[in-house]
């Protein structure tokens, strides 16, 4: 009799558990963010600086998560998170972006919707406070994907997007880095933090299983000739497809363009049957390294699994999901 009850209980549990797990996964919400990868020296970073980075990463992560928790879309969550990092002076996007050779901030951003495969991007804008919002408008309100420079700003004006004077983006630290880069004739973020990039991005999965990716950057210190990196190039620094995953990248952009990193990871998942974690690891530690690229990616797959992979010393990053994970990390 007792054995019968035990067996019956086990049978019930065996039937009930997988159903509950599957239901849980279906409505799983998850978000990951990054604030750039590179040589981030523990020795040179003061406790106060580290606290400031962590605070702004945490604010961005929680703002994005709050959108998902309230039933909002992955697109809205990604924009909410990236906007906060653009407004923070610590990251190389929006306020605090790096300077080009001429001493001007030129900003790039992109967003992609994994449900429709629609995408919007801007490159080389100089007066848009939140380039990620303009990228979203390109996606939502035009039949185009990528607008550049003056044309992109004309579109911003038409859409009623407030433009800011170039001086809004200025920070002393970035100016010093430009001067040093000019002296040594280097094209990179240099200074105390040689090789530190600082681009920002977010990937998210909402309750309905829709994925989104968003990336925003000032590019590289001392860049010239209208140089554009991987961030606004769909498939290179930014990609999302509900059938596989959503990716936002940071690192030496030229290599990410040549390896089509974000799309490559999603393609390996979709066609090669790899997990997003395996695909990201292979591409970041093998494909990229083989051609000399450094940096990292954040990935969310269609089940809401988050991966943060980098081949540099550190990557400013954060992850949060409805299973209770909440993590902010640098090294």
Q: Binding residues for ligand ASP, per CB under 6 A?
A: 36, 92, 197-199, 217, 219-220, 229-231, 237, 250-251, 253, 295
Residue 318 host element (H or E): strand 314-321
| Shorter beta-carbon distance to ligand ASP: residue 113 or 193 | 193
List the beta strands (DSSP E) in 20-138: 30-38, 107-113, 118-125
Token representation of residue 93:
């996007």
| Shorter beta-carbon distance to ligand ASP: residue 223 or 320 | 223
Catalytic residue among 73, 199, 217, 250: 199
Please, what is the minimum distance in Å from the beta carbon of residue 223 to ligand ASP? 8
Please, what is the minimum distance in Å from the beta carbon of residue 220 to ligand ASP? 6
| Shorter beta-carbon distance to ligand ASP: residue 210 or 312 | 312
DSSP string across 290-307: HHT--EEEEEEETT--EE
Q: How far apart are CA 248 and CA 234, in angstroms?
A: 10
Please, what is the minimum distance in Å from the beta carbon of residue 161 to ligand ASP? 22
Q: How far apart are CA 25 and CA 116, in angstroms?
A: 22
SS3 63: helix
DSSP string across 207-248: TTS-EEEEEEE---TT--TT---STTSBTTTEEE-TTSEEEE
Please, what is the minimum distance in Å from the beta carbon of residue 213 to ligand ASP? 14
Q: How far apart are CA 103 and CA 82, in angstroms?
A: 24
Return the bridge partners of 112, or none.
119, 213
Return the bridge partners of 318, or none.
33, 328
Residue 6 host element (H or E): helix 2-26
Q: From residue 234, how far is each of 156, 166, 238, 248, 258 by CA, in Å?
A: 20, 26, 5, 10, 12
Please, what is the minimum distance in Å from the beta carbon of residue 19 to ligand ASP? 42
| Shorter beta-carbon distance to ligand ASP: residue 72 or 229 | 229
Please, what is the minimum distance in Å from the beta carbon of residue 295 to ligand ASP? 6
| Shorter beta-carbon distance to ligand ASP: residue 96 or 229 | 229
Known catalytic membership, residue 221: no
| Shorter beta-carbon distance to ligand ASP: residue 242 or 250 | 250
Residues marked as catalytic = 199
């Amino acid at each position: 009799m007792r054995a019968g009850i035990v067996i019956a209980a086990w049978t019930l549990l065996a039937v009930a558990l997988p159903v509950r797990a599957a239901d849980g996964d279906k409505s799983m919400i998850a978000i990951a963010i990054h604030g750039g990868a590179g040589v981030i020296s523990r020795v040179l970073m003061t406790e106060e600086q580290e606290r400031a980075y962590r605070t702004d990463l945490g604010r961005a992560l929680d703002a994005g998560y709050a959108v998902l928790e309230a039933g909002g879309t992955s697109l809205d969550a990604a924009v909410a998170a990236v906007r906060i990092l653009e407004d923070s002076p610590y990251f190389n996007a929006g306020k605090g972006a790096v300077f080009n050779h001429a001493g001007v901030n030129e900003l790039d951003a992109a967003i992609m919707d994994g449900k429709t495969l629609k995408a919007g991007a801007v490159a080389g804008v100089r007066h848009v406070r939140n380039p990620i919002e303009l990228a979203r408008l390109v996606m939502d309100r035009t039949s185009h994907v990528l607008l550049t420079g003056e044309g992109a700003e004309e579109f911003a004006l038409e859409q009623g997007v407030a433009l800011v004077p170039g001086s809004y983006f200025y920070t002393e630290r970035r100016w010093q880095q430009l001067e040093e880069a000019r002296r040594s004739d280097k094209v990179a973020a240099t200074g105390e933090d040689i090789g530190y990039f600082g681009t920002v991005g977010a990937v998210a999965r909402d309750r309905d299983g829709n994925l989104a990716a968003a990336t925003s950057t000032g590019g590289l210190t001392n860049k010239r000739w209208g140089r554009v990196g991987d961030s606004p190039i769909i498939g290179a620094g930014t990609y999302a497809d509900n059938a596989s995953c959503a990716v936002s990248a940071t690192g030496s952009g030229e290599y990410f363009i040549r390896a089509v990193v974000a799309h490559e990871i999603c393609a390996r998942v979709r066609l090669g049957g790899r997990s997003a974690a395996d695909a990201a690891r292979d591409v970041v530690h093998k494909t990229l390294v083989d051609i000399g690229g450094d940096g990292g990616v954040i990935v969310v797959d269609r089940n809401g699994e988050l991966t943060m992979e980098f081949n540099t010393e550190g990557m400013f990053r954060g992850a949060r999901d409805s299973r209770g994970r909440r993590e902010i990390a640098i090294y």
